[in-house]
Structure 1
């Protein structure tokens, strides 16, 4: 009888408990890339993009022909007219010109600083997420540059459609010159895709992936507000944002191998209960 009870005693925990092998280190704790290298890399990518956009400038006739095509495609797809959103900005009850000027300011001042702040925060707090986000943004921007060169597109504010005005020029502030051909700072015929929306959507996705707060889904308000602003100011078509979303989806799929894994803290929280069980079994 004693020989029979011995295995059961061991099974009940008298034998030393087997400890699970330590979990592999989370990629969240990956080494932070060298700061100088990242600054040079990001600055170089930005300069290449700006230079490439300017190469597409000057294709006035083609840009306006493409604009008519996009406008017709949107009507064929039964998308709402861009003037619908703009009318809400221009006819805000009791708000006067404040609403449309706020939209112009958002378009001019939030797009680039918000993306830079996003990358800086990831670099300091989430290095693995930073590398993933930087690669994704670079891929989307490169694809957008190719499309800007291949498909110059005049924005809806230039079409002269009834109900559409250039809110930047009329109400201010604006980031564009009055004459597109004479604008040496930006290519006004690079409407598709909208990097305003594509970058905003990536910022929201990156912050949702890198944080654990229950309120993190509110970051989606950034691309939603950006969409209303770019359409309401007549700087972009609805299709510009749809194409930007498609490019971002392709970039995320192509860089799936670079996706950050769960954070180290999350893994630690999941491993603590099993470690406690093992230690408790060893002490019995």
Structure 2
């Protein structure tokens, strides 16, 4: 005697994609929301970054440790690079302007380009940038370090002398932390921009420019007396950590969400049997069993 129909639960959560965070905002206004969110986050970043109250002596002691590490590994060449840059007429002024403009205008232009041309990859790049920034902020608080121009090592403040922008003025000093040198997010952001442009741009010349961009930024931040090579290395490590966090967020976003998104459909065994009636071979095996 054939057994009666039994209830077999079947999870169908995998049959439909889980909702994406990007879908929470309608397409016509998504760009405005993304832009407003990034501006707000950057404002918070500047407030936290500028709120550091570390003493110069503590920041310089950390910088002395950085210099000792570089000398141990024979990479303390920042002063030689700055001297070489100052030997070229008008180059110091150009580098001072580039230090200010590339970081802000370049990163903003890159995000706009990513959103318009590669929107499917924008969220991942944005998350990498946000995660790296958050890690960098925590390090600024825990490990304040003076830049080369404030370390008493004979470096020239190229931004002030060349670009005529005093980062320690009363106006900028309220939102600028002079002891937030490690990690260098100037280099970290440039690394994100460069890798993404080199990977996603269609024109070869733009891909090459993207690949060179981090190297250009490295020269800018070192030749202006604002960062050591160690700071740039720390910026790269922070970006790597931000990338891993973004991957984790992305993988979780694609998984079926629990609770309301999990459903069970109950199907009688008899209905499942009838659904296979058009497959004679499998039907015969089922009867024989």
How much has 1:150 moved relative to structure 2? 0.5
2:173 maps to 1:183: yes
Matches within 5 A, 1:1-284: 34-92=30-88, 96=89, 98-162=90-154, 164-177=155-168, 183-215=173-205, 216-256=207-247, 258=250
Change (3 A) 1:128 1:175: farther
Q: Please tell me whether the aligned partners of residues 108 and 173 of structure 1 are also in contact (alpha carbons under 8 angstroms).
A: no
Instruction: Tell me the SS of whatever aligns to 1:106.
Output: helix
Whether the 8 Å contact between 2:160 and 2:166 is mirrored in structure 1 is no
Equivalence for 1:269: none
Query: How big is the shift at 1:251?
Result: 1.8
Cα separation, 2, equivalents of 1:75 and 1:179: 35
1-side partners of 2:114 and 2:166: how far apart?
28
**SS of alignment partner, residue 204 of structure 2:** coil
Q: Is the 8 A contact 2:52 2:141 kept in 1?
A: yes
Provide the rounded CA distance (Å) in 2 between the counterparts of 1:146 and 1:137: 15
How far did residue 58 of structure 1 move?
4.0
Contact preservation (8 Å) 1:57, 1:188: no
Q: Secondary structure at the match of 2:70?
A: helix
Secondary structure at 1:110's aligned position in 2?
A: helix
RMSD: 2.6
Q: Alignment length, in residue pairs?
A: 227
Runs ≥4 residues deviating over 4 A: 30-33
Q: Distance in 2 between matches of 1:187 and 1:144?
A: 13
Using structure 1 for the length normalisation, give the TM-score.
Answer: 0.73
